[in-house]
Amino acid sequence: MHTTIMASRIPSVRTETRSTDSVGSAMGEQVLHLLEFVDLELLTSSGPVVEDVRYVLKVHQRRARAVWKYPRSFDEYVAFNGRMLEALQHGHFCDAGCPWLHGFLVSKFPAKTTLLLSASSHTVVDRRRRALEEVLQTLRKFLLNRINYSCPRIKYHVAEVFLDFVYGGVIDDHRLLEACRGPVSVPTPPTSSDSSRSLLSVLSRGSSMDEVIIPELKSSSSVECEEVCTLCMQLVTTQDVYAMRLRCGHRFHDECIVPKLNEELRCPTCGDGQRHP
């Protein structure tokens, strides 16, 4: 009887394993696609108070032709590093580069306390900016290496934390996320207490994007979204009065798009027909 029970369970276990592998493979491909078209740059800015230094993550999404910025305090980057280390769960066994990544995050992340110099001094701010940018760029390169997706911690948790840090504040922009969405269809990932707030979960659900909010990024970051006019390759800001958004959603400077529409009533980016100039 015992042998019969075990034999009856084997097919279901194998089916579940194949299903999990399918989800993991699609998730990994989606992460690769989202990061492949992203350029990251770290800038600094100061508020009315000199001590209020912000480390501004500038994200250029080349596929969506969009640029957005996240001004964050150093403490927010410290919290992000903590979430990364928690997601990595040091000590587990895998064939990926997790031990190296843990050592890198611990050793390379800039210290919170500074000796002698003020946290707002030019020397400290510039040193932190360079170190934080190195951390972000290294994380992106690590997540672009397919070998590391052999570890579920990377595939489901570390990638999720990083993508939410980069994309989280624009999660309500349905059109932008549709432009960022890769050709890979992502099955719903394993559920967790915070899964409804993750970018990968949103991309897997598609139609429920408008219902998702990330309070942490929304409350702590003023997200400045911009687009690129593909005719002149210059930014079109959300405050730009002399700009036109076509029916397809693409946006251009008036001086660039009007002559084109006079020639042909089609979007020069996607070719969608336009009824009015």
Q: Are both 26-227 and 232-277 of the same fold?
A: no
How confident is the model over 179-192, as pLDDT tens digits?
666 554 444 444 44
User: Which amino acid, one-letter code, is at 102?
Assistant: H
- Give the integer Cα–Cα distance in Å for 24 and 150: 9
Residue 29 has a pLDDT of 77
Report residue 188 as tokens: 């719903």
Does pLDDT of 195 surpass 60?
A: no
Per the CB < 8 A criterion, the answer to whether 271 and 247 are in contact is: no
Residue 47 has a pLDDT of 66
- Give the integer Cα–Cα distance in Å for 251 and 31: 27
* Long-range contacts, 207-212 (Cβ 8 Å, 24+): 209/171, 209/172, 209/174, 209/177, 210/172, 210/174, 212/171, 212/172
Q: How many CB atoms lie within 10 A of CB 161?
A: 22
Topology at the third CATH level for domain 232-277: Herpes Virus-1 (3.30.40)
Q: Where are the domains of the chain?
A: 26-227, 232-277
The answer to which of 108-112, 176-180, 194-198 has the lowest mean pLDDT is 194-198
Does pLDDT of 35 surpass 60?
A: yes
CATH code linked to domain 26-227: 3.30.1520.10
Rounded to 5 degrees, φ, ψ at 151 are -100, 120
H helices within the chain, ranges in order?
A: 2-36, 74-88, 98-108, 122-143, 152, 159-167, 174-180, 199-205, 215-220, 254-263
Specify the pTM. Answer: 0.61
For the chain, the average pLDDT equals 72
Q: Give the dihedral sign, CA 77/83/88/89.
A: positive
